[in-house]
């Protein structure tokens, strides 16, 4: 973990749980999470559940995130949700260009850049997702792919906005497979990301948290969070289990 960094743990519930199911899940989870002050814990339910979960989070230190947003604030964009709407719903964080959206919905680096700009314009804190797929890693292109995703995703973000930006490294081969990247692989790619952030943001790069995402579990979170440069985790499937996510959020740092 980066010295002096307040770590971030984000639960991405993906396309799971109706509004009532999400509220029940949050109600069971919140007492186990408590009110942490040395780390940020954030829940990202699906759009229809944002209001119900957000109401339960009022008065707690647990924050609300959205899984996506559109790049315009309003207009004739049927089916889309704007940053203005999310901010009004109590959302603090928003995921941008998650690997599943890149893969299944063909979101491009250009779209990621537009969404980053929209999130910042609307007062949200965006989390830019980057990562190579299995074929790209096998071909020796992992670094170039991640570097390109970063450059295009951050090209319209000014150094003065860096403190509101998060980046998550999520190797696609680890998403939903149960096979997380090794701590060594995570450290290697986080170091690359940090170098690119310094190129883009100069001295302001220190304010950007770099997270790891991909098959994070209660069994590997401590090792990941004790790895150099890992400032938090994006949790998928394990966040749907109350006891497991509570343990992940309570990760232990070696002293």
Residues whose CB is less than 8 angstroms from the CB of residue 18 and which lie 6 or more positions away in sequence, other chains included = 48, 49
A 10 A CB-CB count for 80 gives: 14
Say if CB 116 and CB 156 are below 8 A apart: yes
Positions marked catalytic: 98, 170
Task: Report how far residue 70's alpha carbon sits from residue 90's, in angstroms, rounded to the nearest whole number.
Answer: 17
* Nearest to 175, CA basis, from 231, 132, 211, 121: 132
SS3 content of the chain, % helix, strand, coil (to 5): 45, 15, 40
Task: Report how far residue 99's alpha carbon sits from residue 121's, in angstroms, rounded to the nearest whole number.
Answer: 23
Say if CB 150 and CB 167 are below 8 A apart: yes
Say if CB 248 and CB 218 are below 8 A apart: yes
In this structure, what DSSP letter does residue 151 have? H
Residues whose CB is less than 8 angstroms from the CB of residue 146 and which lie 6 or more positions away in sequence, other chains included = 130, 131, 132, 169, 189, 192, 193
247: three-class secondary structure by DSSP: helix
Length of the chain (residues)? 255
Bridge partners, residue 65, by sequence: 93
């Amino acid at each position: 973990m980066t010295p002096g960094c307040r770590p971030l743990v984000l639960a991405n519930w993906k396309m799971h749980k109706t509004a009532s199911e999400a509220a029940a899940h949050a109600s069971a989870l919140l007492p186990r999470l408590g009110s942490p002050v040395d780390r940020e814990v954030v829940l990202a339910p699906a759009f229809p559940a944002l209001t119900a979960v957000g109401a339960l989070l009022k008065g707690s230190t647990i924050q609300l995130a959205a899984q996506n947003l559109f790049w315009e604030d309003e207009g004739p964009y049927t089916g889309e949700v704007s940053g203005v709407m999310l901010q009004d719903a109590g959302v603090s964080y928003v995921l941008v260009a998650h690997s599943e959206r890149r893969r299944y919905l063909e979101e491009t680096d250009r779209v990621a850049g537009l969404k980053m700009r929209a999130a910042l314009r609307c007062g949200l804190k965006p989390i830019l997702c980057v990562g190579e797929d299995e074929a790209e890693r096998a071909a020796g292109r992992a670094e170039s792919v991640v570097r390109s995703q970063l450059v295009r995703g951050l090209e319209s973000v000014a150094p003065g906005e860096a403190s509101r930006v998060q980046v998550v490294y999520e190797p696609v081969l680890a998403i939903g497979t149960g096979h997380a990247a090794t701590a060594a692989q995570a450290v290697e790619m986080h170091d690359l990301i940090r170098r690119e952030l310094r190129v883009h943001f100069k001295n302001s790069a220190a304010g950007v948290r770099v997270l790891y995402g991909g098959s994070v579990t209660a069994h590997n979170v401590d090792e990941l969070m004790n790895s150099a440069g890992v400032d938090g985790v994006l949790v998928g499937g394990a966040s749907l289990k109350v006891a497991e996510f509570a343990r992940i959020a309570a990760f232990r740092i070696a002293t």
